[in-house]
Amino acid sequence: MELGRRDLLVSAAALVAGSTGIARAATGRKLGYAIVGLGNYGLGRIIPQLRDCEHSRLVAVVTGDATKGARVAAEHGLAPGSVYSYADFDRIRDNPAIDIVYVCLPNSQHADFVIRAARAGKHVMCEKPMAVSVAECEAMIAACKKANRKLMIGYRIHFEAYNREAIRLARSGAVGKIRYVQSEHGFVQRDPEAWRLKKALSGGGSLMDMGIYSLQAARYMTGEEPIAVTARESTNRKDPRFREVEDMIEWTLEFPSGAMAMCQSMYSANQNRVLTMGETGRIELEPATRYDGQKMWTGKDGREDMVTPPPTRWKNQFVGQLDHLPDCIASGREPIVSGEEGLRDMRIVEAIYRSAREGRTIRLGGRA
Ligand code: NAD
């Protein structure tokens, strides 16, 4: 899981004869990202972080707004011909500076652009949720396998210092055997016209957005895969924001060890919290998964202790995430948050929706 100059040099040296991308990493050139979708996340959050990356840099953008594309290209000194429209996206095949395509589009467009990127011979980073169905996730994984390209999901929180320390504490037995996780994520979605509220674009409501963090936390804090899910939804369908997708949904996961997780997401309150209870203590994170400002404490024997995690070797979670894929490309390793990880979540997401719809517990792992 560790990224570093030494790892990259060692692995890259062993792989000079590999694909062109690997050969370039071995020569020390940073791998080139093309960012697809210049919205709040792609433009506002990801592009600025590329300046701080050790193994990555911005080389192209893909946008529906040519003026915005030209402005970003000028601001970042991109080479001529580095701005693509969605329609001419497939021409990225002819641009050897692009090693990795990062898809930052509305959820229902992830599958199409990931598959086209793989067919163009590029490695792919895809935002969460990976797609809007299990079938799409499977097709994305198959396309990347066929093209022999790597696929990573933008689960930035796996590179965030507090969450990494929380996972380490849980696995180390610091609070005893893990029995229970409670995870709640939400924000107030005010704009009724937002794509997140249009099912054809989002695939679903709060579960497809912040709910992914609640689900991920339940899985990484227990370190287990759930065997059953029971869900309930509560949405005011008269609210113009929620005609197509859910507002609040809550679900219980049962794990093989007997541990349970109570998870929740909503679009009508701000919350961001993960509580993990073991037999001898608890680990609390609040805020847990924000871009920054995380706080963590442990509770044990009647006292609470604030926890400051050891710093990561990368500047922040975004930089760690962005540099992880070039590291994996150079070393031949699978990303710690691969396409399979996104698929696992999507299988559970489908079961959560099905449980809420049918009013019954859904067994996971093939059993319905
Ligand atoms: P946004 O609305 O700010 O940007 C979406 C981009 O897609 C815009 O550039 C828009 O022009 C473009 N687009 C193309 N076709 C579109 C269409 N039919 N409708 C609407 N926009 C269209 O959204 P965002 O917040 O940047 O989210 C993009 C993706 O990133 C989503 O999958 C979201 O879940 C994910 N995201 C992840 C994080 C994270 O912390 N990992 C945070 C925010 C968003």
Domain for residue 201, yes or no?
yes
Per-residue model confidence (pLDDT) at position 12: 34
- Give the residue whose CA is nearest to atom 31 of ligand 1: 106
Domain for residue 1, yes or no?
no
Domain for residue 276, yes or no?
yes
Q: Which of 33, 84, 213, 220 is catalytic?
A: 213
Kindly give the interhelix angle for 110-119 and 134-146, rounded to the nearest 10 degrees: 10
pTM for the structure as a whole: 0.93
Atom of ligand 1 nearest to the CA of 86: 14
78 shares its domain with 174:
no
- What pLDDT digit, counting tens, does each position of 48-105 carry? 999 999 999 999 999 999 999 999 999 999 999 999 999 999 999 999 999 999 999 9
Kindly tell me if the per-residue pLDDT of 10 is higher than 60: no
Scan for tokens 């099912």, then name that residue.
199
Q: Give the alpha-carbon dihedral of 231, 235, 237, 242, to 10 degrees.
A: -100
Rounded CA-CA distance 291/12 in Å is: 31
Kindly tell me if the per-residue pLDDT of 108 is higher than 60: yes
Mutate to test the pocket of ligand 1, among 132, 190, 195 (most ligand atoms within 8 A of CB): 195
Q: In the annotation, is 128 catalytic?
A: yes
Please name which of 245, 265, 271 lies closest in space to residue 345, comparing C-alpha atoms. 265
Q: CB-hemisphere CA count at 13 Å for 138?
A: 4
Q: The domain containing residue 91 runs over which residues?
A: 15-156+318-337
CB 124 within 8 A of CB 149: yes
Ligand 1 contacts (CB < 6 A) are 37-42, 64, 104-107, 127-128, 154, 156, 195, 201, 209
Mean pLDDT of 184-199: 98
- As for how many domains the chain has, the answer is 2
Per-residue model confidence (pLDDT) at position 17: 28
165 shares its domain with 271:
yes
Residue 189 belongs to a domain with what CATH number? 3.30.360.10
37 shares its domain with 82:
yes
141 shares its domain with 268:
no
Rounded CA-CA distance 365/342 in Å is: 16
Edge-first strand order for the sheet with 100-103 is 83-84, 56-62, 31-36, 100-103, 123-126, 151-153
258 shares its domain with 327:
no
How many angstroms separate the alpha carbon of residue 201 from the centre of ligand 1?
10
87 shares its domain with 193:
no
269 shares its domain with 199:
yes
Q: Which of 84, 128, 150, 220 is catalytic?
A: 128
Residue 105 belongs to a domain with what CATH number? 3.40.50.720
231 shares its domain with 358:
yes
Domain for residue 40, yes or no?
yes
39 shares its domain with 127:
yes
- What pLDDT digit, counting tens, does each position of 257-313 carry? 999 999 999 999 999 999 999 999 999 999 999 999 999 999 999 999 999 999 999
Domain for residue 172, yes or no?
yes
Read off the tokens for 290. 């924000």
Kindly tell me if the per-residue pLDDT of 2 is higher than 50: no
- What pLDDT digit, counting tens, does each position of 14-38 carry? 333 233 334 345 557 899 999 999 9
- What pLDDT digit, counting tens, does each position of 121-177 carry? 999 999 999 999 999 999 999 999 999 999 999 999 999 999 999 999 999 999 999
Atom of ligand 1 nearest to the CA of 38: 9
Mean model confidence pLDDT for the chain: 93
Per-residue model confidence (pLDDT) at position 24: 43
Kindly tell me if the per-residue pLDDT of 4 is higher than 60: no
> Comparing 22 with 202, which gets the higher pLDDT?
202
How many angstroms separate the alpha carbon of residue 193 from the centre of ligand 1?
14
Domain for residue 359, yes or no?
yes
263 shares its domain with 282:
yes
Domain for residue 8, yes or no?
no
Q: Give, as one character, the DSSP assignment of residue 301.
A: T
Edge-first strand order for the sheet with 282-285 is 303-306, 296-300, 282-285, 271-278, 178-186, 260-266, 248-254, 228-234, 362-363
Mean pLDDT of 200-222: 98
CB 335 within 8 A of CB 150: yes
Read off the tokens for 158. 């796996």
Domain for residue 189, yes or no?
yes
173 shares its domain with 122:
no
237 shares its domain with 188:
yes
Kindly tell me if the per-residue pLDDT of 7 is higher than 60: no
Rounded CA-CA distance 188/315 in Å is: 29
Scan for tokens 């499977």, then name that residue.
138
Rounded CA-CA distance 281/237 in Å is: 40
- What pLDDT digit, counting tens, does each position of 335-361 carry? 999 999 999 999 999 999 999 999 999
Instruction: For 109-152, give the DSSP string.
Output: GHHHHHHHHHHTT-EEEEPSS--SSHHHHHHHHHHHHHTT--EE
Q: In the annotation, is 213 catalytic?
A: yes
